Amino acid sequence: MKEIQEVAEREKVKIKKYFGTSIWDETLYQAWSQIVQLLIPNHKFIQNTLKTLCELSLCSEAVLFERSTFLILSHHHESGKEDLITCEKVANIVKQFKLTCK
């Protein structure tokens, strides 16, 4: 991170966030999900809508996945905690189901 920051400062590039990832575990999935969430202009509205959905349907958790990649676009849990590992597992199950249906 230090080396990247030095080059970024020299080139006058502002870095907002770093993601420590590995291609061998769920950290890459988490990083890409967070990047996609940063790109959504009305992300707060989507989070509030998921919260309302949970309250109205009396469920404790709701996750919104992107259609083709199944990255997490938004997530709400009544405890306020995000369990991205569980979300990735659910995404993989849905992906397998989608492939089976084809």
Burial 35-68 (b: 16+ CB within 10 A, else e): ebbeeeeeeeebbeebeeebeeeeeebbbebeee
Q: Which own/partner pairs from 28-34 qualify as long-range (CB within 8 Å, at least 24 positions apart)? A: 29/71, 29/84, 29/88, 29/91, 30/84, 30/88, 32/69, 32/71, 33/71, 33/72, 33/73, 33/84, 33/87
Residue 86 pLDDT exceeds 90: no
Residue 81 pLDDT exceeds 80: no
Structure confidence by residue, pLDDT tens digits, 41-57: 999 999 999 999 999 99
pLDDT level of residue 10 (50, 70, 90 thresholds)? very high
The full set of domains in the chain, from first to last, is 2-101 (3.30.450)
This prediction has a pTM of: 0.69
Which whole number is the average pLDDT over 2-13? 91
- For residue 83, the surrounding DSSP H or E stretch is none
**Contact assessment for residue 26 and residue 88, using Cβ atoms and an 8 Å cutoff:** yes
